[in-house]
Amino acid sequence: MSSLPIFYYGSKKVSLDVAKIEKNIGIADYESAIQTAFNEILRIAHPFYRG
């Protein structure tokens, strides 16, 4: 059986927490980019809309 450092769990948990936060930031950035793209398309297309 191999021995683990005393703080092994804590450092791995922090690394996991950081990875989750980075993932959520990436998702938020992606969603923001999509929203910006739709807004730009609507702004450009609005004068041509005949609805």
User: What are 1-51's pLDDT values in tens digits?
Assistant: 566 666 677 888 899 999 999 999 999 999 999 999 999 999 999 888 776
If one counts every other C-beta atom within 10 angstroms of the C-beta of residue 25, the result is: 10
Tell me, what DSSP letter sits at residue 43? Answer: H
Confidence (pLDDT) at 47: 83
pTM (predicted TM-score): 0.68
Task: For residue 24, give Cα distances in angstroms to 21, 29, 46.
Answer: 5, 9, 33
Q: Return d(Cα 17, Cα 51) in angstroms, integer.
A: 48
The tokens 């922090």 sit on which residue? Answer: 14
